[in-house]
Amino acid sequence: MIMDFKYDLSIRQAAQIEEIAGEMRNLANRQYTDAIATIDASWDGDMSSVFLGHCNETKQQMTARATELENLAQRIRDVARII
């Protein structure tokens, strides 16, 4: 069986994955951070602390998933070069 590998397609897909990761990181670092700051300034009380804790945890998870996507894109490029 002959393997049909499309190098250019793989590289483009890796770039798309990396772009999605960048957008996710931007959401977490800018827009989500701004939303958290607005909520923090507007809401006092015990439940606000709990909610903000969940928000910060979600932000960290988004950043971690963005890193995973960036790593995936790099692995795709590495494998494409090898093949």
Report the pLDDT value the prediction gives residue 19, as an integer from 0 to 100.
Answer: 98
The predicted pLDDT at position 47 comes to 92
Q: What is the pLDDT of residue 2?
A: 56
Distances (CA, A) of 64 to 31, 34, 36, 48, 57: 16, 19, 18, 24, 11
Residue-wise pLDDT tens for the chain (83 aa)? 456 678 899 999 999 999 999 999 999 999 888 988 999 899 988 899 899 999 999 999 999 999 999 999 999 999 998 88
The values of phi and psi at residue 45, to 5°, are 125, 170
* Predicted model pTM: 0.82
Give the torsion through C-alpha atoms of 54, 56, 60, 66, to 10 deg.
100
